[in-house]
Every structure is written in C-alpha cells, then in structure tokens.
Amino acid sequence: MFESLRKKSAINTLKSLLKTQKRERKTWSLDNAASIAVLFDATSEKTRKEALEWAAELGKNSKKVSLLGFFNDKKPPVSTPDFDFFFLKETTWNYAPKSEKALRFMKAKTDVLLVLNPSHLIALDWVAVQHPAAMKIGMPTENPHDFDLQIEIPADKSIPYFAQQLKFYLQKIK
C-alpha cells in the first residue's frame, strides 16, 4: 500500500511539473546534434554495458555526450563506475532525485536527451521531465512524460535495437 501511495504521489507531481514546464523544442538528428545526454537504468549489467557502448559510439563524432545512470538499489554499486550515477537512497520518498550529480544533469542544457528506461523507473522519469533538452527521446512509459519521440521495442530486444530504430526514424524525420 505504501508503495502505491509513493508512486501515485510521484505521478501527480510529475503531471504538475509538466503543466508548468516550458522548454524550447527543436528536432535534431544524432548526426547534427552537438550535445547528447544519455539517461539510463544502470541496475542491470547488460543494460549498463549496452548504454555505455552506445554512448561511446555517439561520442566518436566529436559530440559532447553526458551520462547519468540510475541504480535501482538502496546501496551504491560495489565498484565505482566511470560515469555519473545516483541510486535509490539518493531519492526522496516519492522518487525525486536529490543527489548533486542528478540535479546537475537535470539543469544541463543539451540538444538531445536519450532516455533508456526499459523498466519504467520513476526516478528516471523525474530526471527526464525536468531536463531542458530541446528534443527528448525515450522508450514508452506509463508515467507522465514529455518525450518528442517514443520508440517501442519488442521485449526480446534491447538498446542496440533501440539505437538502430532511432537512427532509422530520425533519418525519416529530417
């Protein structure tokens, strides 16, 4: 019961934030964007590895790529990863991030925000809603959001497939 109350509070607050938020929207491709922020679920080693590999690929073309991972665990990871991250204990009771790294990431203006959140974690939705990126792209979520583009992928596929589909659709838009 307490968990459903926490989630309901988070969703209501996210809806309120979305009503008051004003951001300058612009369509970008991954080729012409100068700065890309990648927000991802770092809990699973497989997802974390795939997100980091894709971010490295994005950064090869002299783009500024910033990363923020979220560990859905009350304790920080045993070995400190080489990317900025926050974990469950660094959120408020309704999952709003309170870590310095997450708050800094939410304020950084970028051309594109990529949200890799296959588990629909509310803490990641908090960051995505408050991020001022000109274009926000993510996986479908049941939680409130303001994505400019959502790409649904089959359950048996993962981040490389998402990246492939994203490139395909962004080339069609431009």
For residue 13, the 8-state DSSP code is H
Question: What confidence tier does 76 reach under pLDDT thresholds 50, 70, 90?
Answer: confident
Range of the domain at 39: 2-173
Please state the rounded mean pLDDT for residues 106-129: 94
Question: What confidence tier does 31 reach under pLDDT thresholds 50, 70, 90?
Answer: confident
- Distance between CA atoms of 41 and 71, rounded to whole angstroms? 6
Predicted local distance difference test score (pLDDT) of residue 121? 93
- Distance between CA atoms of 83 and 74, rounded to whole angstroms? 18
Q: What is the percent of the chain with per-residue pLDDT over 70, rounded to a whole number? A: 99
Q: Which of 80, 109, 103 is nearest to 90 (CA)?
A: 103
Backbone angles phi, psi at 64, to 5 degrees: -85, 115
In angstroms, how far is the first alpha carbon of the chain from the final one?
A: 46
Q: Which amino acid is at 149?
A: L
Please state the rounded mean pLDDT for residues 103-127: 94
3-state SS assignment for residue 75: coil
Predicted local distance difference test score (pLDDT) of residue 21? 84
Please state the rounded mean pLDDT for residues 131-147: 91
Please state the rounded mean pLDDT for residues 101-119: 95
Predicted local distance difference test score (pLDDT) of residue 23? 87
CATH number for the domain harbouring residue 135 = 3.90.1640
Alpha-carbon torsion 133, 137, 138, 143, what sign? positive
Count of domains for the chain = 1
Predicted local distance difference test score (pLDDT) of residue 1? 66
For residue 53, the 8-state DSSP code is H
